[in-house]
Chains A and B, each alone.
Chain A
Amino acid sequence: MAALKAQIVEQLNLQEVKPEEIGDDQPLFKDGLGLDSIDALEIIVLLQQQYGIRIANPEQGPEIFYSVRTIAAFITAHQTNK
């Protein structure tokens, strides 16, 4: 998950956040890390560029993007299913 945190920080240009400061289960949006809808789109781009994963059902977004752990689980599940 450390690598994923670093990728998120870089992709989202979070210059005042260190990857290790992001909790595994910390909510990424709203009151958590404070990400917004454009950040969500950038994470979609990240998944596509870094992992070759496309999100087939946009309605899953809030669940997948809840925290670094949920994103990591989604990546793992998708790669296992390949």
Chain B
Amino acid sequence: MHNGEAYITGSCVIRNNRVYRDGTLLWEAPQEQELPEFLRGGYDHFSGQYPKFHKMDPLSKLGWLATEVLLKEQPLNYPAEKVGLVLANRSASLDTDLRYFDTVKDIASPALFVYTLSNIVMGEISIRHGFKGENAFFTADTFDAGLMSAYVGQLFAEEAIAACICGWVEVMGPVYDIFLFRIERSGSSVVFNADNLQKTISI
């Protein structure tokens, strides 16, 4: 049994049409730009060469893009089974559920249907990066840093994981807020706990 200690080794925040990594603004789009255009711009800027991105719903695109920013220059070098994913948001997949419901009146869209679960975003991230470790998706009104640090800390304590991507991936219509953390068993002076999670995202 490990003592559960781990470290925050990176963060990505996407809000107000801006993308930050470790608190530094990396890229921004005009404030008036709508979410689909912002996401396309972010994809072109940070990634490209992954056509499946265009088929994802906004929730998956946002989570996928944030993970891309987080890992692009510094991939997680751990066995696939040892990398966990723990995410949370407020609206689950309601943003896509409603659009899917609109199509049901005519011919239901298979492409939308496959995104009518909030944890699909974790599947997209896992496919991209080859993660096969523990995962969980929580839905709550606000980000609960205490729950996140306790849950992920327990996974570290049980040695179920050696690294984790965790955080908040919320989108509902045009309103979104994303912050993801990179957590590892060693490698940083920032201890993984609720206070430091909150400090890291206060941009």
Contact = CB atoms under 8 A, between A and B. Distances in A.
B107 interface: yes
Given A13-B54, A15-B54, A48 B107 contact: yes
Interface in B53-69: 54-55
Interface in B13-65: 40, 51, 54-55
Nearest to A34: B51
Contact of A15 (B51, B107, B109): B51
Contacts of A41: 110-111
A48 B54 CA distance: 23
B114 interface: yes
A14 B54 contact: yes
Contacts of B107: 45, 48-49
A15 B110 CA distance: 18
Contacts, number: 30
A25 interface: no
A40 B55 CA distance: 14
Nearest to A46: B107
B54 A38 contact: no
Contacts of A39: 111
B139 to A, nearest CB: 25
Contact of B111 (A15, A17, A34, A42): A42
Contacts of A49: 106-107
Nearest to A40: B110
B109 to A, nearest CB: 7
Kindly name the residue among A17, A34, A38, A49 whose own CB sees the greatest number of chain B CB atoms within 10 A: A38
Interface of A: 12-17, 34, 38-39, 41-42, 45, 48-49
Interface of B: 40, 51, 54-55, 106-107, 109-111, 114
Given A38-B55, A39-B111, A48-B107, 20 more contacts: A12-B111, A13-B54, A13-B111, A14-B51, A14-B54, A15-B54, A16-B51, A16-B54, A17-B51, A34-B51, A38-B110, A38-B111, A38-B114, A41-B110, A41-B111, A42-B109, A42-B110, A42-B111, A45-B107, A49-B107
